[in-house]
Amino acid sequence: MTQSPPSAPSAAVRFEHVSKTYRSGQVQALQDVSFDIRPGEFFGLLGPNGAGKTSLISILAGLSQPSAGRVTVLGHDVQRDYAAARRALGLVPQELVFDPFFNVRETLEIQSGYFGVKNNGAWIDELLENLGLADKAKANMRQLSGGMKRRVLVAQALVHRPPVIVLDEPTAGVDVELRQTLWAFIARLNKEGHTVLLTTHYLEEAEALCQRIAMLKGGRLVALKATSELLAGTAQTMLRFKTDAALPPALAAQARVTGRLVQIKAHHATEVEQLLAQLRQAQVGVEDLEIGRADLEDVFLDIMQAPAPAQGGL
């Protein structure tokens, strides 16, 4: 009798009832978090500062232990089957930590050796080329700017061609050029079948790149949906304008103000007209007025301001 081959794992990453408590129970960073990331997905993990994103990623990468629950990468338990789970994962961490004695190419060769990958020269060349590092191959790590170091960090994470790529705020404080280079390359790898997990505070990046998004708040999963569904769920119109004037209290209470930029939600056209009339009446001079659809930032703020859902309510 012929045996059928083992079936491919249905999830690239599976979080099952993951909790994490720090400092002998004083900080509950994660509370019973469960969700799957499907093979080949470009997945976003969002949440405000302190929501638990880095804690979840540290557990995923085997860098810290969950207080409860279980995480698998392509079916490998990150605790019990650490080596296989770690090999399946390429982690681009938030912090820039390097051995300062090596040059860029040596750093990547050492990392290849760490994963037992031999004759990796051609792939290292491709990484250097695609991340705009080709002319820095011989530069010592100490001589690189912060942005260049971040590129090396990405190359280092990809050196063993991991099927699952995890990017923890890869574009924090980096320039537009690196963002574009990085996203073009990561999007290519995703098209070729790599699963990508991204955490970012740049919501327009998440909206543009991620097929599905999970949101954490206070260590709990509060949203898990296709990006298009999240956006469609908020059938809202946003009135956006700039002003130097103070808003009347009734409008100020519902507005989101960023410097001179004011954004106010409207549910339908009549409400837009009413808002404009209120502004005219209060003699608030406006510039660059536009009426647009709510974006992921609006959805994110709505979800973060809503009361926490009941457990298992997603």
Ligand X SMILES: Nc1ncnc2c1ncn2[C@@H]1O[C@H](COP(=O)(O)OP(=O)(O)OP(=O)(O)O)[C@@H](O)[C@H]1O
| Interaction site with ligand X (CB under 6 A) | 22-23, 27, 29, 47, 49-55
Q: Could you tell me the two tokens for 87?
A: 């090999």
Nearest to 35 by CA among 46, 25, 27: 46
- Residues 46, 50, 55, 56: is their CA dihedral positive or negative? negative
Indicate the residue among 108 and 203 with the shorter CB distance to ligand X: 203
Q: In the complex, what is the shortest distance from the CB of residue 293 to ligand X, in angstroms, rounded to a whole number? A: 26
CA end-to-end span of the chain, whole Å? 44
Q: In the complex, what is the shortest distance from the CB of residue 32 to ligand X, in angstroms, rounded to a whole number? A: 15
Indicate the residue among 86 and 217 with the shorter CB distance to ligand X: 217
Q: In the complex, what is the shortest distance from the CB of residue 51 to ligand X, in angstroms, rounded to a whole number? A: 4
Indicate the residue among 37 and 133 with the shorter CB distance to ligand X: 37
- Laid out side by side, the sheet with 89-92 consists of 89-92, 164-168, 195-199, 42-46, 212-217, 220-226
Indicate the residue among 60 and 279 with the shorter CB distance to ligand X: 60
Whether 307 contacts 28, CB under 8 Å: no
Q: In the complex, what is the shortest distance from the CB of residue 29 to ligand X, in angstroms, rounded to a whole number? A: 3
Whether 205 contacts 171, CB under 8 Å: yes
Q: In the complex, what is the shortest distance from the CB of residue 22 to ligand X, in angstroms, rounded to a whole number? A: 3
Q: What are phi and psi of 160, to 5 degrees?
A: -105, 20
Quickly count: other Cβ atoms within 10 Å of residue 225's Cβ: 17
Name the DSSP class of 143: G
Indicate the residue among 47 and 93 with the shorter CB distance to ligand X: 47
